[in-house]
Amino acid sequence: MMRKIQRFQYIAFFALLSVISTETHSQCEADATVYLTDFLFTPSEFTIPVGQTVAFVNAEGTHNVDGTAESNPVSFFLEETEGNIDGVCMGTVTFDVPGVYTYTSSIGVQPELGMTGTIIVDAETLCDVMLSFWGCGENQNMDAYSSAYAFQSYFGCSFFGQSGGFPGSNTNLEGLDEYTLFLPNSAAIAGLKELMNLNSFDLLYFTEGMVAGLSYHMVPGVYLAEDLQDGAVLPTVEGQNLAVSVADDGGIMLNGATVLHEDIVAFNGVIHVIDEILVPAGYPGATTWDVIVQSTEHTIFEQALLAEGLAT
């Protein structure tokens, strides 16, 4: 008998939410809705993309919505209201910053009685998007795996929970700062290796040169294809500028490199794939000896060359 009563209460509760949802839609326009009843947020935990708005509707009891926990990326608070069966729109909150948000109704003992909720605001960062250039990822056909790996290695990305292993830059592509990246495709990387006299393995260990070279492919801010107008000048993270030109057929070029794939959008920026490397003025080449000296993986080899007088 008790199970039947509980089942009836469960069905009745969600039927009530259905009615409330219809009645309050015009009052509380949002992408998602949280309903408040005595000692309960429904749903109590869910995930939304960055930029979505959540409405809070009070269906029963006296509550506020207190999202001022120190751990929240951004604080929010909705004032106390008295709910009713029609549903009272307490307000809406737009979540523009990714992270985990916890909240409660901080009236009386409601938090102690378990009236808490969690909203996870998920975002696909530039680092996440570049993972899709690997293997069978959705962008693997764009043939820019090597460039993506280099950017991930040097600019704050993590690999399956492990941070990138090459120091040299304070720029973080997993953060909130926005960047436009121009990723050379695989054919262009062959040109980079020839320029620096390096093989694929050694390339990543030429830290100073790699950071400078990659930084010249990064522009602070978000520039979609429609923003890359003929004659525009883009200041790069490296410090020098990129010159934009647009061909008669609409093709976009930067310092002569053609954009092959455009507008691969992330939460904190956008990626364009290009067909050439971009070389800043004064960019040094590197000899094999430069790489050996800078690499922690070649210490014994370095000592052997020094002993034989072959260091150049």
Per-residue model confidence as pLDDT tens digits over 171-219: 888 887 899 999 999 888 876 666 556 665 555 555 566 788 889 999 9
Q: In which element (H, E) is residue 246 found?
A: strand 241-246
Residues 285-296, mean pLDDT to the nearest whole number: 49
Tens of pLDDT, residue by residue over 19-65, are 444 344 446 899 999 999 988 999 999 999 888 999 999 999 999 99
Tens of pLDDT, residue by residue over 222-269, are 999 999 999 999 999 999 999 999 999 999 999 999 999 999 999 899
Report the sign of the C-alpha dihedral through residues 165, 170, 171, 176, in that order: positive
Query: Given the structure tokens 């749903």, which residue do they identify?
Result: 43
> Where do the structural domains in the chain lie, given as residue ranges?
2-122, 126-306
Does 101 score more than 90 pLDDT? yes
Residue 291: both structure tokens together: 């790489």
Residue 297: both structure tokens together: 């993986």
- What distance in Å separates the CA atoms of residue 190 and residue 175, rounded to the nearest whole number? 30
pLDDT band, very low/low/confident/very high, at 289 (cuts 50, 70, 90): very low
Does 5 score more than 50 pLDDT? no
- Secondary structure class of 288 (helix, strand, coil): helix
43: preceding bond cis by omega (within 30 degrees) = yes
pLDDT band, very low/low/confident/very high, at 123 (cuts 50, 70, 90): confident
Residue 96: both structure tokens together: 């523009």
Which pLDDT score is estimated for 22? 39
Residues 79-94, mean pLDDT to the nearest whole number: 95
pLDDT over 90, % of the chain:
48
Of 11-15, 149-153, 211-215, 266-270, the range with the lowest mean pLDDT is 11-15
Sort 308 into a burial class: Cβ within 10 Å, 0-12 / 13-18 / 19+: exposed
- What distance in Å separates the CA atoms of residue 312 and residue 291, rounded to the nearest whole number? 11
pLDDT band, very low/low/confident/very high, at 3 (cuts 50, 70, 90): very low
CA dihedral 165, 211, 219, 271 (to 10 degrees): -50
Which pLDDT score is estimated for 23? 43
Residue 182: both structure tokens together: 């121009």
Which pLDDT score is estimated for 50? 87
The answer to whether 186 touches 146, Cβ cutoff 8 Å, is yes
The CATH number of the domain covering residues in 126-306: 2.30.180.10
Tens of pLDDT, residue by residue over 294-304, are 555 555 544 55
Of residues 191 and 73, the one with the higher pLDDT is 73
- What distance in Å separates the CA atoms of residue 164 and residue 168, rounded to the nearest whole number? 11
Q: Which CATH architecture has domain 2-122?
A: Sandwich (2.60)
